[in-house]
Amino acid sequence: MLGLRCLIVVCLLLSGLSAGADDGVAPKMPPKVGLDEKLGDRIPADLEFTDELGRKVRLGDLVDRPTLLAPVYFRCSNVCNVLQSGLAQTLPRLNEDLKSRIRVISFSFDPTETPALARGSKKIYRAAVKGGFPMDNWSFLTGSREAIARLTDAIGYRYYQDGAEFVHPVAVAVLSADGRIVRYLEGTRFLPTDLTLSLMEASDGRLGSTISRLASFCYSYDPEQRGYVFNILRVTGIVVTLSAVGLFAVLVFGGRKRRRKP
């Protein structure tokens, strides 16, 4: 009798599993998180956000110079803080002229956050830069759900909310003065070289055309490493070529002078 009962239970379980499979109901998968790089696209200039002082600002009016755009949320206790701390450590190490000619924007993709939270975040990073970067050039923005959705879509930033937290990429978009996306820098730590070269790209040479051309010749962006690498083969080739030309000139013109002496 016990064996018959066990057989009935097993059959019922199997029939239940079969019915669930026939329903075709698949487990719900979370949205994909990541970056769809949209190099060359422009962000919507007409978007309105609120700055840390509660003032309404038009995004196109803020992005009037090479800009680092950092998607974060201010209540984040993890990578958002690390990303902004990485910026706060590196920005003071940039060239003084460059610091005055760029803008940094941290914008929250949580529509429930307020200017008070933005103001508290700015206070933290004002202390972190220790006077090494003009904080008037670093804005902390909050916005409506619609404005956030349009901006994150424009830069290809895919994320989703999981309870009180968000699952999201960790990256900064580099914008030109006309709002064009010229580069993405992923991760939480940034080398001064990476920031400088990406901002020079965004400036189209206006931060010193000679320096910009020299830097772009010596360095190139490596998409695998997500950073700029020194073109050692290119630079070495030029050095070897110039050395050979110099040696040839010495041999030719030096030999002529010796023949003229007698």
pLDDT tens, position by position, 217-237: 444 445 555 444 544 554 454
- pLDDT attached to residue 2: 46
- Angle, in degrees to the nearest 10, between helices 232-260 and 209-218: 100
Under 8 Å between Cβ of 62 and 103: yes
pLDDT digits (tens, 9 = 90+) for 58-72: 999 999 999 999 999
Residue 128 in contact with residue 85, Cβ under 8 Å?
Answer: yes
**What pLDDT score does 212 carry?**
40
Domain boundaries, given as residue ranges, for the chain:
34-189
Residue 86: which of 188, 187, 171 has the closest Cα? Answer: 188
The pLDDT of residue 48 is: 98
Q: Which amino acid is at 27?
A: P
Contacts of 243 (CB under 8 A, 6+ apart): none
Confidence at residue 240, expressed as pLDDT on a 0 to 100 scale: 56
pLDDT at 228: 43
Distance CA 64, CA 206 (A): 13
Q: What is the pLDDT of residue 193?
A: 87
User: Does CATH place domain 34-189 in 3.40.30.10?
Assistant: yes
State the alpha helices, DSSP H only, in the chain: 2-23, 59-62, 79-90, 96-100, 115-129, 145-154, 192-203, 209-218, 232-260
Low-confidence ranges of the chain (pLDDT < 70): 1-30, 205-262
Contacts of 169 (CB under 8 A, 6+ apart): 33, 34, 35, 71, 157, 158, 159, 186
Say if residues 221 and 183 touch (Cβ distance below 8 Å). Answer: yes
The pLDDT of residue 206: 46
Q: Give the global pTM.
A: 0.71
Q: What is the pLDDT of residue 202?
A: 87
Name the one residue in this structure whose structure tokens are 């630079």: 235
Query: CB neighbours of 132 closer than 8 A, spacing ≥ 6?
Result: 91, 92, 93
pLDDT at 32: 85
Scan for tokens 């019915």, then name that residue.
19
Cβ neighbours of 155 (radius 10 Å): 19
Hey, is 40 helix, strand or coil? coil
